[in-house]
Amino acid sequence: MAVFRFRVYWEDDDSVYRDVLIKSDQTFADFHRAILAAFDFDQIHDAVFYRSNDNWQRGREILLKKDDRPHQVEPLLMAETPVGAAVRNTNQKFVYVYDFQKNWTFLIELIQVMGQENKKLSYPYCARKEGLAPSQYENKIPGNDKLMEMEEKYDLGSDDFPQEGFGEEGETDQDMADEESF
């Protein structure tokens, strides 16, 4: 069974991405849930995948659920469409949009096709996380915000944690001790 490695970029900042491994026979519904889990998003809103070209133009839709809108081409459904059925070439691209009110958009590109699955992994699998995921809701509780936790963890200038070991070049520990005694 072939395994695809997709890189999922947040459209607003391409330094924020996740690498998701998914088997070719798994559905776009599985891929949808994996992307949301990788970016710490909930799963309560509608979503759509679009097959795309190298210029990120949106092509055929792959919907989470049927809708009543008119379509030029009948859309596919995520739960019924295996990922492998939509991959046409080794650099296949998709656009994924989640929560049509907020319009969270992710650009997805196939970066590797592996011949065999790793029996130790449960697919789909998030193999790499780069950058801090965007906050899905602006009104998150600050104590739960990962960015806030990171800022606090690395806040070297706070009064609670004096900056020990940071001196000027060439300064010895004794020089620093003499300065503190003044």
Say yes or no to pLDDT of 182 above 60. no
Query: Does residue 10 have a pLDDT over 60?
Result: yes
| Averaged pLDDT, 7-13 | 96
| Coil, helix or strand at residue 144 | helix
pLDDT band of 71, cuts 50, 70, 90: confident
pLDDT tens per residue across span 77-102: 999 999 999 999 999 999 999 999 99
pLDDT of residue 171: 53
Q: With bands split at pLDDT 50, 70 and 90, how would you rate the model's confidence at 167?
A: low
Q: Given this model, what pLDDT does residue 67 score?
A: 86
Phi, psi of 120 (to 5 degrees): -85, -15
Question: Looking at the predicted structure, is the pLDDT value of residue 72 above 90?
Answer: no
Q: Give 173 or 87, the one with higher predicted confidence.
A: 87
Q: What is the pLDDT of residue 169?
A: 56
Say what the pTM is: 0.76
Q: Which tens digits make up the pLDDT trace of 101-154? A: 999 999 999 999 998 899 999 999 999 999 999 999 875 444 454 555 555 555
C-alpha–C-alpha distance, residues 51 and 146, integer Å:
32
Measured CA distances, 62 to 39, 42, 46 (Å): 20, 20, 12
Can you tell me the mean pLDDT for 17-41?
97
Instruction: State the Cα–Cα distance between residues 50 and 58, nearest whole angstrom.
Output: 5
DSSP state at residue 143: G
Do the bridges between strand 3-10 and strand 13-23 make them parallel or antiparallel, or are there none, so unpaired? antiparallel
* The predicted structure's pLDDT at residue 174: 54
Q: Give the pLDDT confidence of 49-63 residue by residue, as tens digits.
A: 999 999 999 999 999
Domains and CATH numbers, the chain: 3-130 (3.10.290.30), 142-181 (no CATH)
Output the pLDDT for position 154. Answer: 52
